[in-house]
A and B are shown apart, each in its own frame.
Chain A
Amino acid sequence: MKKIEAIIKPFKLDEVKEALSKIGVKGMTVTEVKGFGRQKGHTEVYRSAEYKIDFLAKVKIELIVTDEMVPQVIETIERAAKTGKIGDGKIFISPVEEVIRIRTGERGRDAI
């Protein structure tokens, strides 16, 4: 089992969610986050005051999938979240030791 974290542009969230649902992903967790990478921040000007906004709004999607699903999920997120412009985001993959469904007590793949 793997955890996939994808940080994407907020306006791409719906597309990514739809695409993932289509390939059989049954759940995900979404968080509004702020950060910067190569894109850096942007500048806002209010009357004469100029403010450099370092952290940009992004959305972080977290989902746990079985090992076989990983390539397909990554490919789907890449395709749906891509604009080709700077700031499209990143995907992180990490191993997951155990998954437990609280209601039933199921463990492992059954709990995903």
Chain B
Amino acid sequence: MKKILFLSLLTSMFIVGVAFAEQPTTSIPKMDSGDTSWLLISAALVMLMTPGLALFYGGMVRTKNVLGTIMQSFIALGVITIQWAFYGYSLAFGPDISHVIGSLDWVGLRGVGLDPFPGYSATVPHQAFMIFQMMFAVITPALITGAFAERFKFKTYLVFLILWSTFVYDPLAHWVWGVGGWIRNLGGLDFAGGLVVHISSGISALAAALVVGRRKGYGNGLMPPHNVTMTLMGAGLLWFGWFGFNGGSAIAAGSLATSAFVVTQFSAASAALSWMMAEWACRGNPTVLGAASGAIAGLATITPASGFVGPISAIVIGLVAGALCYYAINLKTKFGYDDSLDVVGVHGVGSTWGVLATGLFATKAINSAGNDGLFFGNPSLIGIQAISVVSVWVYSFGVTWIILKLLDWTMGLRVNEEHEITGLDTSQHGEAGYNF
């Protein structure tokens, strides 16, 4: 009896304590351990996507270029991390200048501390948000490398990485996600990077394929993927990491993260099936490469919509994405440009559909901070989404074109013909992927 009395006294003291403790949280943001854990784990998940991408792309090239291709993705982890720490994060998320770019106030992460920052991460340390966003900045330029696989000079690539991040990625991230960014102010919705990551890389890839030119022997020689099992392994890692990419973009552990997680799976699954079926119908075989490509298309497509749409909408979005992207990759043969690993068809086209689909399927029932789309009674959102898409298309294409032209005149973009024939592995890195 005495014991029970003591326990209930303790419990009531605890409740009173909690009640008192809760009051100040309304004024000063308090760190939430659940939210912080989820965001740090998500950052690690997104980090793993870059090596995943390296394998995804590495399997699709010829044996002589496997290391060169893997390295282009992998080294982005090195270069962009440093760029982000010095000034990239400040340009993207720093205090707004004229709605187009962040200022240099946060250079060297000055002022980016371990307390929550209400503008971006009300319940999570500012540095956790910074490192989470860094992983997005790392993988985005790596996505472009598929467009110029098997022929790009490594030295030029390192410079391209820095220039592209500085002049394309950082401004776009600010437009869409930065406090004061013009697309954010306009009400354009991009939950996890349809505009910032996938359209920007996909359309830059188109510019890159056009400026860099085709591989030697393209159209005549045999250039089949050397290891589709490696590609599938990479697709698996990308899919796994994408739960952090989309789920983590809620910047909190809870209902919104769960919803984003669920729709990510639904879209990837339905797009893998619809690509496979489309290819089966058109070419007679349900290929493994097709199923893997479809999954990635579905993931790239759901990215902008992931925090705004419900599960059944995600299945519809994914089903369209798989077939649409399959159709899109077949266009390159028609137009004759060599987007070697189909960055335009998968990421550019997929995510364009994803951003527009957000304008159709978004609902405030999923995310009250979002908006309703056309199918939920608000026709204006689709217009805003279209303006956002066109702006990002034009900006990415134009600036990437200029950067590559400048590099072409100064450093040269391509390895010489002899090196292209011997392969990037020995010519650029002095080693071979396979020594049997």
Query: A residues touching B (Cβ–Cβ < 8 Å)?
Result: 44-49, 51, 53
Contact = CB atoms under 8 A, between A and B. Distances in A.
Contacts of B283: 45
Nearest to A45: B283
Interface in B272-303: 283, 285, 287, 289-290, 293
B285 A45 contact: yes
B322 to A, nearest CB: 13
A45 B228 CA distance: 13
B224 A51 contact: yes
B222 interface: yes
A53 B289 CA distance: 18
A48 B330 CA distance: 5
Interface residues of B, number: 16
Contacts of B333: 48-49
Most A Cβ at <10 Å: residue of B222, B293, B332: B222
A45 B290 CA distance: 10
A44 B290 CA distance: 13
12 contacts: A44-B224, A45-B285, A45-B287, A46-B224, A46-B287, A46-B289, A47-B290, A47-B293, A48-B329, A51-B222, A51-B223, A53-B222
B420 interface: no
Contacts of B342: 47-48
A96 B395 CA distance: 75
B311 interface: no
A44 to B, nearest CB: 6
B225 interface: yes
Given A46-B60, A48-B333, A51-B224, 5 more contacts: A47-B329, A48-B332, A51-B222, A51-B223, A53-B222
A44 B226 CA distance: 13
Contacts, number: 26
Interface of B: 60, 222-225, 283, 285, 287, 289-290, 293, 329-330, 332-333, 342
A49 B289 contact: no
Contacts of B287: 45-46
A4 to B, nearest CB: 32
B58 to A, nearest CB: 15
Contacts of A45: 283, 285, 287
A48 B285 CA distance: 13
A111 to B, nearest CB: 34
Contacts of B223: 49, 51
A76 B389 CA distance: 69
Nearest to A47: B329
A51 B289 CA distance: 15
B227 to A, nearest CB: 12
Nearest to A54: B222
The 9 lowest CB-CB distance pairs between A and B, nearest first, are A48-B330, A48-B333, A48-B329, A45-B283, A47-B329, A46-B224, A51-B222, A51-B224, A46-B225
Most B Cβ at <10 Å: residue of A44, A45, A47, A48: A47
Contacts of A46: 60, 224-225, 287, 289
A38 B32 CA distance: 72
Contacts of A49: 223-224, 333
A16 to B, nearest CB: 28
A51 B223 CA distance: 8
Contacts of B332: 48
Contacts of B285: 45
A11 B285 CA distance: 22
Contacts of B290: 47
A100 B342 CA distance: 58
A48 B326 CA distance: 8
A47 B329 CA distance: 7
Nearest to B341: A47
Contacts of B224: 44, 46, 49, 51
A32 to B, nearest CB: 15
B294 to A, nearest CB: 11
Contacts of A51: 222-224
A4 B335 CA distance: 52
A53 B223 CA distance: 11
A51 B329 CA distance: 16
Contacts of B60: 46
Contacts of A44: 224
Nearest to B340: A49
A48 B60 CA distance: 13
A50 B224 CA distance: 9
Contacts of A53: 222
A76 B180 CA distance: 83
A34 to B, nearest CB: 13
A49 to B, nearest CB: 7
A92 B211 CA distance: 54
A25 to B, nearest CB: 32
Nearest to B60: A46
Nearest to B219: A49
A48 B293 CA distance: 12
Nearest to B342: A47
B154 to A, nearest CB: 25
